[in-house]
Amino acid sequence: MKKTWDLWEIIAINYLKKKWYQILETNFKFSVIWELDIIALLNNLYVFVEVKYRKDDSYWVWGESINYYKKQKLKKTINYYCLKHKIDLENIRFDVICILWTKIDHFENVEL
């Protein structure tokens, strides 16, 4: 069950559901610090979603928060999930959902 501090992930989940995504898992942990926010299915495509929230965009660009180290952690966690669930890497995509108060930006097929 989601906690109140996961409000932004709940907003992202509801957004994805309205777009016909099937939510498979949330907060999938590979280790104590490696986690995937949302894993969804759209048709036959597995979509791994990182959720980012900021109150103000005057000092922040979403891409800045996904640095080289974070990308490496995400890649390893996605690869582990795919191996565990026997998912072909040709059938996956990485997305980022950015929430800025009432605005939601969904960036599809982000390169890791």
* The pair of three-digit structure tokens given for residue 72, joined into one six-digit string: 């490496």
Please tell me the pTM assigned to this model. Answer: 0.88
Instruction: Give 41-88 pLDDT, tens digit per residue.
Output: 999 999 999 998 877 666 556 566 688 888 899 999 999 999 999 999
CA distances from 20 to 27, 28, 82, 102 (A): 20, 21, 22, 21
CATH of domain 4-107: 3.40.1350.10
Across the chain, the runs of DSSP E, i.e. the strands, are 22-29, 35-42, 45-54, 92-100, 103-107
* The pair of three-digit structure tokens given for residue 45, joined into one six-digit string: 């495509």
Give the pairing of strands 103-107 and 22-29: unpaired
Domain ranges of the chain: 4-107
**Helix (H/G/I), strand (E/B), else coil: 47:** strand
